Amino acid sequence: MGKMPQKRNPENRGFPPRWRAIHGAIYYRVPKGLEWAWDGKKLFRLGTNASEAYKVWANRINKPLSAKIIGDILDRYLLEVVPLKQPKSQSADRHNALKLRKVFGDMYLDSIEPQHIYQYVDKSPAKVAAKRQIALLSHMFTKSVEWGYLNKHPFKGEVRLPGEKPRTRYVKDLEVIECLSLPAKRERGGTKVIQFYMRLKLLTGLRRSDLLRIKMSDCTEEGIFVETKKTGKQIIYAWSKELREAVEGAKSVRPVDIGPHLFCTDMGKSYYNEETGESAGWASMWRRFFARVLKETKVTEHFTEHDLRAKVASDAESLEHARQLLTHADSNITNRVYRRKAEVIKPTKSITS
């Protein structure tokens, strides 16, 4: 499958050349004679993790003027394209890039063929993850054409990998009622916070990141102002009786009255980490809530927050309304992934009637 990569220690596989993992940090072994560009050091500390290391690396080196192997375009992609993405996407891309580098990193750009892509997916024990890694590799080659390294994409349109089947779980109204009826153990925080959060999600269809980032000041005279984290699109959800009641309810059960966010921790801080894109505390609270739901209510099957977004899209009056609620750029993804109700079709008239 192309040129075989040189053997490296297991902890260093997937890193760019001359990178080394040493005692919980990542270092760059500076080529002889270039120490002046790296603070006079032979071993330069890049950071404690890959994310920090790539940021420091990007500030220290120039963009490659030429690329011969896939590892070269992988490096430039990590330096120029990945930092422009959302934190969670950056983390996923860096993880997937490590996997790709181990197999494709030392292959010449013009040596990769469709058969290599099929072999990569076929040999991988995690098919879904492998397909996402190939999708990343494909975008790297698209950028390579843009950067002038190649005249055309080597496998675009020539590889047909089976797609992931969209999830079909539809949350029924009765299941929502059961969740909202779960008795709370305290007047503020915990169960009641999640219940009003669910009400808001079912009214707006917003992603978790956008709901958790809503500030008290975003509740304007016109409605709830939201600038979506994923696309930066600005939206105002106009007030309705139900929306006002949900917001007022969420305000009344906040664990503390301090803090700018509608949904806040016991310390008055946001559950959402802007730097990492994670909301670990909220995820833990959701898991605890749903453990009670499955144990104490008639709900027998777990559902996710994405399933609630899908319910919003499925229950919307039209596909266009569903697209607007979920803030999708076009309706294809809305229809394929989030509209989960069975289509109701009227039968034709009988000839004998």
Q: What is the dihedral of CA 124, 125, 128, 131, to 10 degrees?
A: 0
Look at residue 346 and tell me if it is in a domain.
Answer: no
Which residue type occupies 99? K
Q: Residues 270, 123: one domain?
A: no
| Contact status, residue 272 vs residue 209, Cβ threshold 8 Å | yes
Quick check: 10 pLDDT over 80?
no
Q: 210 and 305 share a domain?
A: yes
Task: Report d(CA 347, CA 277) in Å as an integer.
Answer: 48
What is the chain's length? 353
pLDDT score of 113 more than 80: yes
- Paired with 43 in beta bridges are 29
Is 208 inside a domain boundary? yes
Q: Quote the Cα angle for 138-144-147, to 5°.
A: 150
Residue 330, in any domain of the structure: yes
Please count the structural domains in the chain: 2
Q: Is residue 182 part of a domain?
A: yes
What is the per-residue pLDDT for 103? 94
112 contacts 155 by C-beta, under 8 angstroms: yes
If asked whether residues 180 and 311 sit together in one domain, one would say yes
- In this prediction, residue 274 carries a pLDDT of 86
Span 144-155, average pLDDT = 90
67: left (phi over 0), alpha (psi -120 to 50) or beta: beta
Within a domain: residue 167?
Answer: no
Most confident of 51-60, 91-100, 344-353: 91-100
- Which residues does residue 208 pair with via DSSP β-bridges, in sequence order? none
Q: Are residues 224 and 282 in the same domain?
A: yes
Say whether pLDDT at 172 is over 80: yes
Indicate the angle between helix axes 241-252 and 190-204, nearest 10 degrees. 160
Residues of the domain holding 37 = 10-147
Q: What value, to the nearest 5°, has the Cα angle with vertex 91 and ends 87 and 93?
A: 115
| Segment (H or E) for 338 | none
Contacts 24+ apart (CB under 8 A), 29-36: none
pLDDT at res. 249: 95
Mean pLDDT of 298-303: 94
pLDDT of the residue at 39: 84
pLDDT score of 11: 62
Residue 59, Cβ neighbours under 10 Å: how many? 8
- Which pLDDT score, from 0 to 100, does residue 69 have? 92
Q: At 276, is the pLDDT very low, low, confident or very high (cuts 50, 70, 90)? A: confident
Are 195 and 334 in a shared domain?
yes
Give the pLDDT mean for 337-345: 86
Please tell me the predicted confidence (pLDDT) of residue 15. 76
CATH code assigned at 313: 1.10.443.10
Cβ atoms 229, 275 nearer than 8 A: no
Looking at the structure, tell me whether residues 191 and 134 fall in a common domain: no
pLDDT digits (tens, 9 = 90+) for 185-229: 888 888 999 999 999 999 999 999 999 999 999 999 999 999 998
pLDDT for residue 2 is more than 50? no
Between the alpha carbon of residue 98 and those of residues 86, 93, 102, 143, 167, the distances in Å are 19, 9, 7, 18, 28
- As a whole number of angstroms, the distance between CA 141 and CA 73 comes to 8
Cα of 224 vs its chain's centroid, Å: 24
Asked whether residue 307 falls in the same domain as residue 249, the answer is: yes
Residue 3's pLDDT is 44
Q: Which of 19-33, 172-186, 188-202, 219-233 has the lowest mean pLDDT?
A: 19-33
Task: Examine the domain organization and report whether 178 and 122 are in the same domain.
Answer: no
Q: Is residue 90 part of a domain?
A: yes
Q: CA 42 to CA 336: how far, in whole Å?
A: 53
pLDDT at 64 (0 to 100): 53
pLDDT at 1 over 50: no
Name the DSSP letter for residue 220. Answer: -
The answer on 230 and 316 residing in a single domain is yes
- In this structure, of 30-44, 107-121, 180-194, 235-249, the range with the lowest mean pLDDT score is 30-44
Q: Is residue 279 included in any domain, yes or no? A: yes
Whether the pLDDT of residue 306 is over 90: the answer is: yes
pLDDT(4) > 50: no
Whether 71 shows a pLDDT value over 80: the answer reads yes
Q: Using alpha carbons, list the distances in angstroms from residue 340 to 335, 343, 346.
A: 8, 9, 19
Contact predicate 199/180, CB 8 Å: yes
Inside any domain, residue 152:
no
82-96, 135-149, 262-276, 298-312: range with lowest mean pLDDT: 82-96
pLDDT tops 90 at residue 134: yes
**Enclosing H/E stretch for 331:** helix 331-333
Structure tokens, 114: 């469709």
pTM over 0.75: no
Asked if residue 231 has pLDDT above 90, the reply is: no
Most confidently modeled range among 167-171, 276-280, 327-331: 167-171
* 209 and 124 in a common domain: no
Tell me: do 140 and 234 sit in the same domain: no
Task: Please indicate, yes or no, whether residues 96 and 180 belong to a single structural domain of this protein.
Answer: no
